[in-house]
Amino acid sequence: MKQRIAIDMDEVIADTLAKFVHLYQKDHGLTLTPELLHGKELRDALPPELIDSVRKYINQKGFFRDLEVMPGSQQVVEQLAQKYDVFVVSAAMEFPNSLEDKLHWLGEHFPFIPWTNIIFCGYKIINTDIIIDDRTKNFKGFAGRTLLYSSPHNLLLTEFERVNTWDEVASLLL
Amino acid sequence: MKQRIAIDMDEVIADTLAKFVHLYQKDHGLTLTPELLHGKELRDALPPELIDSVRKYINQKGFFRDLEVMPGSQQVVEQLAQKYDVFVVSAAMEFPNSLEDKLHWLGEHFPFIPWTNIIFCGYKIINTDIIIDDRTKNFKGFAGRTLLYSSPHNLLLTEFERVNTWDEVASLLL
């Protein structure tokens, strides 16, 4: 039997942060530089009067539909899907308006992932051998190998095996 | 730590079959009796010219939004949620138009289940101690205790621990 990999969406195969950076520039003239975001959650890099806007943006229909694909992810995930049982696992349930957008986005950019292997959830109580995720809370109680996909918010964490790019994932797993 | 239970939606807490019975009566004058459905998938109980209509119904927005709640399920699931970590796990991903309907239906009828504990998936590769489901394919590879919730299509199966009503679930698990 093939080993199973769970792959997160936001900040792992979908560039959610880039969309926020674009929106804050466009709507508020705010430039979110890598320096401002380093080691911080997005809300903690915003001026107080804009913190509520994060949730407003994220709850809008369409927010997740036109995200850029993370560089290299399509090619590497397609190769991984030859060798492993690849599941895309997103904690999408917090944002009901994201469900259809995320599913259509996957259909467009990762058409080789069948519906059987897509999981939208809250807690990731999944039974896989490997998980690739930018949120260490999703590693809690997970018995397999954890790969922390680098994102500005997690750059200060040191106690996890880390991957910075999809090329690095390929080197480790292919 | 509490034990975890995975509870399926269709035919377990939501009366999907009753909706079909209603629609076939209304739209086609076809009476689907318990005798016709006994031990059969719905499509196998239909005349050939109506088989395609199953998928048409199920893909319509709204199909899953107004399903009847299975008798006793609200009360028993709410009690289970005191003693166990209860997750609702539905193989909804096959029907993209069902996702929002199912989420809103859960919010209406099972508001005590938080978003963190809702899982829409294909294969149920979940890590729980118990699963209650009407489809034995979801027991494949599952390491915990399986409870087959009776539905006409599974009535001929004999090799599984079975529950016929939510009262029986309560007797076993509460």
Q: What is the pLDDT of residues B145-164, one digit of tens each?
A: 999 999 999 999 999 999 99
Query: Which residue out of A10, A101, A133, A134 is catalytically annotated?
Result: A10
Which of B103, B118, B126 lies at the smallest CB-CB distance from A127? B126
Are B29 and B54 members of one domain? yes
Q: Across the interface, do A122 and B121 touch by the CB < 8 Å criterion?
A: no
**Residues B87, B128 contacting (CB under 8 angstroms):** yes
Shortest distance between the Cα of B123 and any Cα of chain A, in A, equals 5
Q: Which residues contact B158 (CB under 8 A, 6 or more apart)?
A: none
pLDDT under 70: residue ranges of chain B: none
Residues B57 and B23: beta-carbon distance below 8 Å: yes
Instruction: Say whether both B81 and B127 belong to one domain.
Output: yes
pLDDT for A56 = 96
B111 with B48, same domain?
no
A127 & A167 share domain: yes
What is the average pLDDT score of chain A?
Answer: 97
pLDDT at A1 over 90: no
CATH number at residue B74: 3.40.50.1000
Pick from B115, B128, B137 the residue to mutate for testing the A interface (most A CBs within 10 Å): B115
Are A39 and A91 found together in one domain? no
Q: What mean pLDDT comes out for the span A36-51?
A: 97
Q: Which residue of B has its CA nearest to A129?
A: B125
Residue A114 and residue A143 in one domain: yes
Say yes or no: A142 and A82 in one domain: yes
Q: Which two tokens stand for residue A126?
A: 């999944």
> What is the mean pLDDT of the segment spanning A115-128?
98
B/e letters for B156-166, b = 16+ CB within 10 Å, e = fewer, are: eeeeeeebeeb
- Cα–Cα distance list, B8 to A27, B131, B147 (Å): 43, 8, 11
**Domain coverage including residue A89:** 4-14+68-173
**pLDDT (average), residues A121-138:** 98
Interface touch B126/A126, C-beta < 8 Å = yes
B129 as an active site residue: the answer is no
* pLDDT for the residue numbered B1: 86
ipTM exceeding 0.90, yes/no: yes
B88 and B149, same domain (yes or no): yes
Query: For position A128, what pLDDT does the model report?
Result: 97
- Residue B143: its pLDDT value, please? 93
